[in-house]
Structure 1
Amino acid sequence: MPDTSAHHPENFTFKEKLQYTLLGLVVIGGSFYLGRSLIRKAVSTTEERNTFIEGNPAAYAQQIRMAFENNGWWGVDTQSLRQILVAIPSVATFKKVMTSYQRLFNRSLMMDMKQDLKTTEYNEMLAILSSKPARGTTVQPVQLTAQQYQSWAQRLKAAFDRPYGPFTYADESAIQAVVMEIPSQGAYKQLGLVYKAMYGNELDGDLRYALSFWEYPSIQKMITDKPS
């Protein structure tokens, strides 16, 4: 009597061969996915240990993510995000922050910024980053370069034009952040020249127009209290 307990591969029908092939692909694919997930988990766990080290790129990445999550409240905590980006000392460090963010959360930092921020907020954050030196691990005193003046002008313009439905409003905290960085009245006057060259308007005029009558005096006092 012929042995029918084993089904020799040569006797498989085309349908059976196709089924076994697909099954093999599923097993291989599942193993690959599981392996990749385990690797990602291990990388994330290793990176999480660095979030407790002040000044480490992972710590900045964690703080940025917390600003995005905003304790569960609607929108992004832009004030915290602004402070974090200002504290990052250089472009090289920010690149490490982006890498760490990807490792921690398996997400693109720049894509999250673009998706979660309003256009003017996004432009403000880019302007903050654009003024940073290429390298360095500590925040340096403000250097009054053309790039720095352009960055301040871009940040102020973005702060003046925050969208609110069909209208715009001024983000006072963003304006204050810029004014606090300006070291002197002379630097503010130079900023006014750069602002006019970039946008065709007087900085003082836009500042007065954007702010309410009770906000403008406090900003103006911050400027006039600076050394000449």
Structure 2
Amino acid sequence: MALPAATLAVEAIKNRPKISVSKDVTTVLLASGLGIGVFFAVRALVRKFKRNNRERHALQPGNPANFAIRLKMAFENDNAFGWGTDEEVVFDTIEQIPNASMMRKVERAYKDLYGNNLSADLMSELSTEEFAIAQEIINSKT
């Protein structure tokens, strides 16, 4: 009895409707896939160029990338036990930023270097009270 069921299944597979995709649809799908791939490749190259440019100028005192790197190093504080943010360095670095315009440049440099938003990292690394103090310092800049 299993034999007729298997035969019916084979016949059903042979007689199923064929799906065909026209050349135009195939061309559009390939072109859109290629376009998306090129977009992401160019975006990655631009981000790498920005990051390399920021890193090249980071050793100059007063450069926004210098401040951004100092903040990131304070977040990744490698003290004797290997944990914790060095809040004093964070506050000192933010206080050394001369004005609001430079603060915006530091935020942009931080984003270019690390791909993260500086405010979000400050919020995650500092306690609520410490974050409020940092925001107060940032907002006091004119």
Q: Under a length normalisation based on structure 1, what TM-score does the superposition of the two structures give?
A: 0.49
CA distance in 2, matches of 1:119, 1:45: 33
Q: What is the RMSD of the two structures over their aligned residues, measured on CA atoms? A: 2.1
- In 1, the alpha carbon distance for the partners of 2:62 and 2:90 equals 15
State the AA in 2 paired with 1:127.
Answer: E
2:119 is the counterpart of 1:110 = yes
Task: For 2:40 and 2:116, locate their aligned partners in 1 and report how far apart those are by CA, in whole Å.
Answer: 17
1:14 is paired with a residue of what secondary structure?
coil
* 1:14 aligned to which of 21, 25, 50: 21
1:100 is matched with: 109
The 2-side partners of 1:121 and 1:18 are apart by: 57
Structure 2 residues without counterparts, runs of 5 or longer: 1-19
**Gap change, CA 1:22 and 1:92, over 3 Å in 2:** same
| Counterpart for residue 40 of structure 1 | 47
2:38 corresponds to which residue?
A: 31
Q: AA paired with 2:32?
A: L
2:91 to 77, 82, 89: 82
Aligned to 2:7: none
After superposition, the Cα gap between the structure-2 partners of 1:131 and 1:25, relative to the gap in structure 1 and judged at 3 Å, is same
- SS of aligned partner of 1:71: coil
In the aligned structure 1, how far is the partner of 2:124 from the partner of 2:26? 43
Identity %, equivalent residues: 31
Q: Distance in 1 between matches of 2:45 and 2:139?
A: 36
Shift of 1:105: 1.6
Q: Does 1:68 align with 2:71?
A: no
- Return the TM-score normalized by structure 2: 0.76
Mapped partners of 1:16, 1:81: distance in 2? 59
Q: How many residues align?
A: 122
SS at match of 1:82: helix
1:196-215 → structure 2 map (5 Å cutoff): none
Give the letter aligned to residue 47 of structure 2.
R
| Structure 1 residue ranges without an equivalent (≥5) | 1-12, 135-228
In 1, Cα distance between the equivalents of 2:74 and 2:59? 17
Alignment of 1:137-148 (within 5 A): none
Return the offset for 1:117: 1.9
